[in-house]
Amino acid sequence: MAVTIYDIAKEVNTSAVTVSLALRGSKRVSAATKERIVKTARKLGYQPNPLARGLIGAKTKTFAFVFNYSSADFAHDLSYMELFHVIAQEASKQDYKLFVHSSMTAKPIQEVFSEVIPYGVDGVILGTNINNETDRQALEQTQVPTVLLGRDFYSEKVTGLVYGGYQGARQAVKHLVERGHRRIAFAGKSNIEASIRRLAGYASAIAEAGLQVDEELIIESGWDVEAGEIAGVRLAKLPQPPTAIIAGTDLMAIGVIAGLKEEGLNVPDDVSVIGFDNLHISRFSIPALTTNDMRRDLIAASAVSSLIDMVEKDSEGQRVTIPSDLVVRDSTGKVKPLV
């Protein structure tokens, strides 16, 4: 059986991450530790993985795109699929390769790093929740340049890209208020950082418009089509249904439209609907969906340039905010006058 970096780590009594860094000639590992690891690797007859051909100080020109959620989420999350495509194109322009790493279930962030780093990647583009202090420590202590997608966290080696939340929700509310809407609902997930930011932007814009935040119009919901359909039915059955609904994602918004239709309400004649993402399919929904464009082009450019700066210039991680644009289509209209 071939010797792995895990065998070397066990022999030297260190981590696989440290072994990987040492064999790549990283300055982040002390000279003494590096010498012990190299001698042990030779003694055990270690042969490097072909993916890690950049060992002994060179770069592999490879980034890992990590989806640290369940495989079921990955299969249904069109926003991440579209984002991967754009980031891969941007990386290719800069002469970097990108490969996808995912698993059946979400894992602690340190475990994710331990799985990915041995492949010899120069950097990691990471989609994940930060669930506890252990996850935060893993991000604070990592020595591999990392870009965190959609999370408001950064450290010495981690750049956090914050996008499409607070500002986008405020734009959505303003658009609806300008069209006479006063009962505006919000549907999202309370345990997702992006949704929390969107809810905060929604509440801020509602108050700024001189309206009261009605808790009855704020509902917990998943972000897929099926959850959106359930949310649409639930809101349609309120004693006073909203005249507009802001959904956490485009897929959810499409489901909301279906749920409203089941209850005899038409979009936008009876209820206006706005989503988040500007997925490719959003302009083909019936009616075409008004949505917040997350600007995947800017996300991709920022993710790749930030990683390259950290890899090639040893730049420190930072917080980067990506603006969103409201794309107005057919799913929003003016409030129907009372008869």
Domain holding 300: CATH number?
3.40.50.2300
Q: Are residues 118 and 146 in the same domain?
A: yes
Q: Which two tokens stand for residue 327?
A: 């794309």
The secondary structure of residue 155, as a DSSP letter, is B
Instruction: Read off the pLDDT band of 201 (50, 70, 90).
Output: very high
Residue 47 has pLDDT above 80, yes or no: no
Residue 102 has pLDDT above 90, yes or no: no
Q: What is the pLDDT of residue 75?
A: 61
CA distances from 63 to 60, 84, 121, 287 (A): 9, 12, 5, 39
Instruction: Decide: helix, strand or coil at residue 69.
Output: coil
Among 91, 119, 79, smallest CA distance to 303 is for: 91
Instruction: Decide: helix, strand or coil at residue 325.
Output: strand
Backbone φ and ψ for 322, nearest 5 degrees, come out as -105, 120
pLDDT per residue as tens digits for the range 128-161: 999 899 999 999 999 899 999 999 999 999 999 9
If you average pLDDT over residues 216-237, what whole number do you get? Answer: 95
Q: Is residue 60 within 8 Å of residue 51, measured between CB atoms?
A: yes
What is this structure's pTM?
0.82
Q: Are residues 40 and 71 in the same domain?
A: no
Which residue did the predictor score with more confidence, 162 or 114? 162
Q: What is the pLDDT of residue 228?
A: 96
Q: List alpha helices for 77-192, DSSP H.
A: 78-93, 109-116, 133-141, 166-178
If you average pLDDT over residues 31-58, what whole number do you get? Answer: 73
Domain-embedded: residue 184? yes
pLDDT mean across residues, the chain = 90
Domain-embedded: residue 336? no
Q: Are residues 299 and 158 in the same domain?
A: yes
CA distances from 171 to 167, 168, 246 (A): 6, 5, 11
The C-alpha atoms of residue 302 and residue 268 are separated, in whole angstroms, by 36
Q: How many domains does the chain have?
A: 3
Question: CB 1: neighbour CB atoms within 10 A?
Answer: 4
Residue 248 has pLDDT above 70, yes or no: yes
Q: Are residues 304 and 195 in the same domain?
A: no
Backbone φ and ψ for 146, nearest 5 degrees, come out as -140, 140
Among 83, 118, 107, 20, smallest CA distance to 295 is for: 83
Residue 55 has pLDDT above 50, yes or no: no
**For 9-13, 25-29, 120-124, 159-163, which range has the lowest pLDDT when averaged over its residues?**
25-29
Q: What is the CATH number of the domain that holds 28?
A: 1.10.260.40
Q: Are residues 119 and 153 in the same domain?
A: yes
Instruction: Decide: helix, strand or coil at residue 15.
Output: coil
Q: Are residues 247 and 309 in the same domain?
A: no
Which amino acid type is present at position 151?
R
**For 59-68, 175-184, 206-215, 238-247, which range has the lowest pLDDT when averaged over its residues?**
59-68
Domain-embedded: residue 310? yes
Q: Are residues 170 and 256 in the same domain?
A: yes
Among 63, 179, 193, smallest CA distance to 120 is for: 63
* Cα 235 off chain centre by: 27
pLDDT per residue as tens digits for the range 165-196: 899 999 999 999 999 999 999 999 887 888 89
Q: Are residues 262 and 302 in the same domain?
A: no
Question: CB 139: neighbour CB atoms within 10 A?
Answer: 24
Which of 29, 57, 85 is where one domain is finished?
Answer: 57
Instruction: Decide: helix, strand or coil at residue 64.
Output: strand
Which residue did the predictor score with more confidence, 219 or 222? 219
If you average pLDDT over residues 309-325, what whole number do you get? Answer: 95
Range of the domain at 53: 1-57
Q: What is the pLDDT of residue 56?
A: 43
